[in-house]
Structure 1
């Protein structure tokens, strides 16, 4: 087994679980609160439901390696939105009153890597959709 495959697996599981936990948090803290917050920052409230569902379901799917390329692309768009709409004003490291966008950018970069390297032999995708399953 190649080091790249193991590294990709670790990255995929970490990113998947991180998004899953963020999705769970949105529902545990009251999805209505998330919807209201989206409205308050000028994003249509229904997008709060969409983001929460993508984070929750997409996080699980990414963890097992199913639909990796598609889920990673969705995560990139979510992170770009979070950076541009919420975190950019605070700067890279934050401004003392709020977090910066360094974690969001790191998640986006991880998702780009997974988008570009989604054919890992250590994923469900490779077992189901590969012409030559390993």
Structure 2
């Protein structure tokens, strides 16, 4: 029971955080985000992909739908952010740019969700574990 609560909370909070990042990119305008991506030598089209994954993936994590797949995508995004932008600033940042400590925390939560036996109270449990013992704690 406690593990389900913790897993559910981690999944939902991570989903909210990524959803907020996706909304932020939409608010800025994906074209502007694409321009920033290009300014750091990344293909601009990646901004659209990342924005959509953050937005839709955040919603999916909140609902607990395809949790493992979405979490893998979030790990890839975090690795991309660390190695393309944040690594030079160091773990805690350098006063001019943010460090990658938060990205590591997000990545570790996502990794837990990939490896966990259950995804907590989720649509995954309801839709894909019908009749199994792991469905005991489904919604």
TM-score by length of 1: 0.96
Higher mean C-alpha deviation, range 21-30 or range 116-125: 116-125
Partner SS, residue 55 of structure 1: helix
Change in Cα spacing, 1:118 to 1:68, as seen in structure 2 (3 Å) is farther
In structure 2, distance between residues paired with 1:44 and 1:70: 24
Residues 6 and 103 (structure 1), Cα distance of their counterparts in 2 relative to 1, 3 Å cut: same
How large is the Cα RMSD of the aligned pairs? 1.0
Q: Is the 8 A contact 2:34 2:47 kept in 1?
A: yes
Q: Can you give the 5+ residue segments of structure 1 that lack an aligned partner in the other structure?
A: none
- Equivalent residue pairs, number: 133
Q: The residue matched to 2:75 in structure 1 has which SS?
A: helix
1:112 paired residue number: 111
Paired with 2:117 and 2:40, the residues of 1 have a C-alpha distance of 33
2:70 counterpart residue number: 71
Q: How far apart are 1:52 and its partner, in Å? A: 0.1
Aligned to 1:53: 52
After TM superposition, the structure 1 stretch with the greater mean CA deviation from structure 2, 111-120 or 23-32, is 111-120
TM-score norm. by structure 2 comes to: 0.92
